[in-house]
Amino acid sequence: MIALLPMAQSAPVKPKAGQPCNGCGVCCAEEPCHVIRDFAHVTEGPCPAMEWEAGRFYCGLIRQPSKYLGTVPEGDNPLGRQIAECLGAGRGCDSEIVGVDWSTTPHG
Q: Where are the domains of the chain?
A: 6-90
Q: Which strand (E) or helix (H) includes residue 50? A: strand 50-53
105: burial class by Cβ within 10 Å (0-12, 13-18, 19+)? middle
**pLDDT-derived band at 107, boundaries 50, 70, 90:** very low
Spatial separation of the C-alpha atoms in residues 7 and 23, rounded to whole Å = 12
Q: Which strand (E) or helix (H) includes residue 51? A: strand 50-53
pLDDT for 96 equals: 83
List 57's β-bridge partners, or say none. Answer: 52
Higher pLDDT, 98 or 33: 33
**pLDDT-derived band at 76, boundaries 50, 70, 90:** very high
